[in-house]
Amino acid sequence: MTDAARGSRILFVDQSGELGGAELALLPLAIRHREHGAVVLLQDGPFRERLEAAGVTVHLLVDAGVSRVRKTGGLSALLRAALPVYRQVRALARLARDYDVMFVNTQKAFVLGTLTRAIVRRPVVWFLHDIMSAAHFGALQRYVVRGLARFADATLVNSQAVAQALADLTGRRDRAVDVVYNGIDPSQFDAALHTQHRAIRAALGVPTDAWCIGLFSRLAQWKGQHVLIDAVAQMLVDEHDALERRHVGGARERGAPAARSTRHVEVHVVFVGAPLFGEDAYAARLREQVARLGLEPRIHFAGFQHDVAAWMAAMDVVVHTSTAPEPFGRVVVEGMLAGKPVVAARAGGVMEIVEHGKTGLLTEPGDARALASALGALRRDPAYAAELAEAGRETARRQFTEAAFVERVDAALARVADRIGTGHQAVPGQV
């Protein structure tokens, strides 16, 4: 750690108590700075437990009026939030006085942090994990972020795609933005690499010799689990048709192709993840889709799992299906570290992780047919799948290390600390 960063007392602020990607990215940073730093959460949950178990001080600043504000809410929702936001800013300001820097890690944290900065004059380091486009945020939310962006004293983003979307929003291409890719510790994936994970398959009822597709993501419409369900139905039809073509002179019956073909092929899907941010209706729709296609025996919902490395080890392929551009996509790197061939959606930060045909496969977001054909290609050619997996693993180990991630964040913190000194100095007045 640089001296300047080490001396700083950092107050991390994150709106979620859940274990989402932005929170998992924050974890090693909060641990590294736990001696002088603390984390403020705007909601309670398992993330708080993880932080506290690691010896990090956590302050909960929960206000239902702020928690209710959504990514796409309208003006009336925002106006209703004005008083709760004011209360939160006052509370955050009281805490922030004892720290040198505020490190804001989510959108609400960013809004509160920049408003708090006007009161306590502490610099704000903003880690933007989101693509600020209409695909992800309402017009009002984008307008607010656009207005406040210049009050961040340093801006870090998790991919070039996020940097680009921010520049498009603010119209400021000259603004200094640091691209800091997530880093993932490979040790758990290494440990899981050569172990048999029969127990995981057995508990789900997945045959040991089935070809098992794993999708590791919270259940949310834009994460696109429905695309994989359609792709599997398509794969079963494709494989059935191929089988029939081989049956010279075989009578070709008509009927429900997916249900009929399940007798011939053993493709299974495991969805690992839960609806973390109020997407329960989507989760229910997924189950209906599975039932409608008659795919219940093959599609398994495992819920949230802590040991992703072990679960990935039990799969034959790891897929990513986001229908809107993924800001980064930790699961893609994790699939590569797990030594699995990865098929991911060609958009956003994922294109900075996977090189199509070399370190994995990319298919158009939302295109179930293309996904089915990529999966079919891997299933038919295990040697090709292994080649992609090996190249992917090597790239992930080299390019997405946790050490590089924390060092780059520390370097940004050190630059801010150098600019303002590490004591209680005020930020040069921009506000």
CB of 38 to ligand GLC, least distance (A): 21
Nearest approach in angstroms of CB 114 to ligand UDP is 22
What is the closest distance, in whole angstroms, from the C-beta atom of residue 304 to ligand UDP in the complex?
4
Closest residue to ligand GLC: CB criterion: 21
Strand pairing category for 361-363 and 101-104:
unpaired
Query: Which DSSP letter does residue 323 get?
Result: S
323 contributes a contact to ligand GLC by CB under 6 A: no
Does 180 engage in binding with ligand GLC (CB under 6 A)? no
Select the binding partner of residue 304 from ligand UDP, ligand GLC, none (C-beta < 5 to 8 A, by kind).
ligand UDP
Return residues touching ligand UDP (CB under 6 A).
19-22, 24, 216, 218, 272-273, 304-305, 308, 328-331, 334
User: Do 361 and 381 form a contact (C-beta atoms < 8 A)?
Assistant: no
3-state helix, strand, coil in the chain (%, to 5): 50, 15, 35
Q: Report the alpha-carbon distance of residue 375 to residue 361 in Å, rounded.
A: 9
User: Nearer Cβ to ligand UDP, position 184 or 427?
Assistant: 184
If the CB atoms of residues 20 and 186 are measured against ligand GLC, the closer one turns out to be 20
Site for ligand GLC contains 325 (CB under 6 A): no
289 binds, among ligand UDP, ligand GLC, none (CB under 5 to 8 A by kind): none
Residues 6 or more apart whose CB falls under 8 angstroms from that of 57 comprise 34, 37, 38, 39
Our finding on whether 106 is near ligand GLC (CB under 6 A) is: no
Q: Could you say whether residue 328 binds ligand GLC (CB under 6 A)?
A: yes
Q: Which does 282 bind (CB under 5 to 8 A by kind): ligand UDP, ligand GLC, none?
A: none
* Cβ proximity to ligand GLC, 91 vs 404, nearer residue: 404
Binding partner of residue 158 among ligand UDP, ligand GLC, none, CB cut-off 5 to 8 Å per kind = ligand GLC
Find, among 412, 216, 426, 414, the residue nearest to 315 by Cα: 216
By CB under 6 A, residue 365 contacts ligand GLC: no
327 sits near ligand GLC (criterion: CB under 6 A): yes
Minimum separation from the CB atom of position 300 to ligand GLC (A): 24
224 contacts ligand GLC (rule: CB under 6 A) = no
Q: Nearest approach, Cβ of 315 to ligand GLC (angstroms)?
A: 19
CA–CA separation, 220 and 275 (whole Å): 6
- Quick one: which H or E segment has residue 319? strand 317-319
296 vs 177, 254, 293, 415, CA distance in Å? 46, 21, 8, 54
158 touches ligand GLC by CB under 6 A: yes
Find all residues with CB under 8 Å of 7, minimum gap 6, and list them.
Answer: 36, 417, 422
Gap between the Cα atoms of 419 and 428, Å rounded: 10
Distance CA(149)–CA(27), nearest Å, equals 24
**Residue of the chain from 129, 268, 298, 393 that contacts ligand GLC (CB under 6 A):** 129
For the CB of residue 341, give the shortest distance to ligand UDP in the complex, in Å. Answer: 17
- Work out how close the CB of 17 gets to ligand UDP at its nearest, in angstroms, rounded to a whole number: 14
Query: In terms of Cα–Cα distance, which of 391, 395, 394 is closest to 383?
Result: 391
Using alpha carbons, select from 403, 378, 405, 408 the residue that is nearest to residue 392.
378
Phi, psi of 230 (to 5 degrees): -65, -40
The C-alpha atoms of residue 379 and residue 372 are separated, in whole angstroms, by 10
Number of residues that bind ligand GLC (CB under 6 A): 12
List residues near ligand GLC by CB under 6 A.
20-22, 25, 129, 158, 182, 326-330
